[in-house]
C-alpha cells in the first residue's frame, strides 16, 4: 500500500504536488471510485490513472539490445543515453532505472536495466561470478597462447593491483574471439586485449548469465520477470 500522491510521483507520472492536482481533477480511481484524498493508501493493483493501470508498479527489469553510440550514464551531457530508448516517464521513476554494470559507448549487446537496487549489486558483484560473454574483433592476429594467458588468472591490467580472474578465450578467426568474464572491471575486455598488445576494434556482449539477445534488434528491449534471477 502506498500513498496515492507518492505512488504517482514514484512511478514517474508527475511530481507529488502535481499528483495532488491530478487527484483533485478526478483522474485517479481506487477500485473504481474516484479518489479524493491524495494521502489515502492504496495497492497499485486497485488504482487506475486516466483509466489505465499504473505502469510496472512493482518494479522493472529489462533486457536491452544496446546499439553502439549510446552511453550508460544518466548524464545527458555525455551523449545520447540508453535511457532515451525507454518511455520518458520511466526516467522520472524513483527508485531510478539504472543499468546493471555498463557497456562502453562503442560496445553493443546485452544490457540489463532495472530499478531493483539489490539486484544490481548482486549481479555486478564479482563474488557471484555471473558469466558475461563478449565477441571482440581486434587489429592483429590472435596468438593461440592468449587462451592460456587469459585463463591463468594472473593478467594484470594497467593501473590495477589485483590480476583479472581466470577468463575463457575462444579464438574464432585470426582477428575475432569470444571472451567469457566473471567480473566487470572498467573497460575490462579492451584493457585485457591491450595488455597483450592488441586493440579491440568492435565489441559486442552476446550473453549475460543465462540470457542471450535472441532476435531482439539493436535498440529494442523486452521485460523480464522481476524474480528472473531468483
**Which are the catalytic amino acids?**
104
State the minimum distance, in angstroms, from the CB of residue 64 to ligand URA: 13
By beta-carbon proximity to ligand URA, the closer residue of 22 and 208 is: 208
| Nearest-angstrom CA–CA distance, 97 and 91 | 7
State the minimum distance, in angstroms, from the CB of residue 215 to ligand URA: 22
State the minimum distance, in angstroms, from the CB of residue 107 to ligand URA: 3
Comparing C-alpha atoms, which of 204, 193, 107, 202 is closest to residue 158? 193
Answer whether 209's CB lies under 8 Å from 123's CB: yes
Question: First-to-last CA distance in the chain?
Answer: 24
Cell matching residue 197 = 598488445
By beta-carbon proximity to ligand URA, the closer residue of 38 and 134 is: 134
By beta-carbon proximity to ligand URA, the closer residue of 103 and 130 is: 103
| Nearest-angstrom CA–CA distance, 112 and 117 | 12
By beta-carbon proximity to ligand URA, the closer residue of 39 and 79 is: 79
User: Would you tell me which residues interact with ligand URA (CB under 6 A)?
Assistant: 103-104, 107, 187-190, 203
State the minimum distance, in angstroms, from the CB of residue 143 to ligand URA: 20
State the minimum distance, in angstroms, from the CB of residue 18 to ligand URA: 38
By beta-carbon proximity to ligand URA, the closer residue of 23 and 71 is: 71
Amino acid at each position: 500500500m502506498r500513498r496515492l500522491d507518492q505512488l504517482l510521483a514514484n512511478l514517474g507520472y508527475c511530481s507529488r504536488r502535481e499528483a495532488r492536482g491530478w487527484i483533485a481533477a478526478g483522474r485517479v480511481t481506487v477500485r473504481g471510485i474516484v479518489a479524493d484524498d491524495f494521502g489515502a493508501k492504496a495497492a497499485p493493483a486497485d488504482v487506475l490513472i486516466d483509466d489505465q493501470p499504473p505502469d510496472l508498479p512493482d518494479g522493472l527489469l529489462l533486457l536491452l539490445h544496446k546499439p553502439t553510440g549510446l552511453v550508460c550514464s544518466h548524464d545527458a551531457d555525455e551523449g545520447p543515453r540508453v535511457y532515451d530508448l525507454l518511455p520518458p516517464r520511466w526516467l522520472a521513476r524513483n527508485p531510478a532505472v539504472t543499468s546493471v554494470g555498463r557497456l562502453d559507448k562503442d560496445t553493443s549487446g546485452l544490457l540489463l536495466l532495472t530499478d531493483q537496487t539489490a539486484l544490481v549489486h548482486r549481479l555486478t558483484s564479482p563474488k557471484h561470478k555471473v558469466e558475461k560473454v563478449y565477441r571482440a574483433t581486434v587489429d592483429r592476429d590472435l596468438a593461440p597462447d592468449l587462451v592460456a594467458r587469459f585463463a591463468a588468472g594472473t593478467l594484470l591490467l594497467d593501473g590495477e593491483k589485483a590480476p583479472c580472474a581466470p577468463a575463457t578465450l575462444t579464438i574464432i578467426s585470426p582477428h575475432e574471439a569470444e571472451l567469457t568474464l566473471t567480473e566487470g572491471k572498467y573497460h575490462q575486455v579492451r584493457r585485457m586485449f591491450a595488455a597483450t598488445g592488441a586493440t579491440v576494434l568492435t565489441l559486442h556482449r552476446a550473453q549475460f548469465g543465462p540470457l542471450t539477445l535472441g532476435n531482439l534488434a539493436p535498440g529494442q528491449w523486452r521485460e523480464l520477470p522481476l524474480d528472473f534471477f531468483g
